[in-house]
Amino acid sequence: MPGARVPPSEESVMPLRFAIHALLLPVALACAGAVHAHGVGERALLEADLANVSGAHLSAITVTYAPGAKSSPHRHAGAAFVYVLAGRVRSQVEGQPVRTYRAGESWFEPAGALHAVCENPSARTPAEFLVVFVEARAPTPATP
């Protein structure tokens, strides 16, 4: 029938599907990591691919907790180095005891480990910490 539209074949839409998924993956990962409750703020500082480590990506953020604020239990796809900049942070990473970290102290979270407790134990003073993630880079779409 003239003018009839033939639907595209599965093979012809696969490259487009791959490109869309590759573009949406970082957004989905960012949303999945946003498990914070009221009183918790994040500020992105840096995003960079690590040229000397195949497939690795580094990102750095600061997180601020209002007095008494806390995050829900969560996991991160990549490893995280956490450094307390101000105040105190009470934290427990899977397999470790609960501990309160003060400004100048740090901890490490292995990729995929449950971060069961993360909160500001103070009723008066905000807390701020730097988090540096190293994780797998999102796939790059194929180019012709």
Q: Which domain holds residue 72?
A: 11-136
- As a whole number of angstroms, the distance between CA 80 and CA 42 comes to 15
pLDDT recorded at residue 38: 83
Is 77 a domain residue? yes
Q: For the residues 56-73, what does the mean pLDDT come to?
A: 96
Q: Report the DSSP beta bridge partners of residue 46.
A: 60
pLDDT recorded at residue 74: 93
Is 47 a domain residue? yes
Q: For the residues 124-141, what does the mean pLDDT come to?
A: 87
In this structure, are residues 127 and 89 in contact, taking their beta carbons and an 8 Å threshold? yes
Is 38 a domain residue? yes
Domain count, the chain: 1
Top-confidence residue, 76 or 140: 76
Is 118 a domain residue? yes
Is 69 a domain residue? yes
Supply 26's token pair.
């970082």
Is 52 a domain residue? yes
Q: For the residues 114-120, what does the mean pLDDT come to?
A: 97
The answer on pLDDT for 86 being more than 90 is yes
Is 105 a domain residue? yes
- As a whole number of angstroms, the distance between CA 18 and CA 47 comes to 23
Is 46 a domain residue? yes
pLDDT digits (tens, 9 = 90+) for 24-62: 344 434 433 444 568 999 999 999 999 898 889 999 999
CATH number for the domain spanning 27: value is: 2.60.120.10
Output the CA angle 101-62-29, nearest 5 degrees: 110
- The verdict on pTM exceeding 0.75 is no
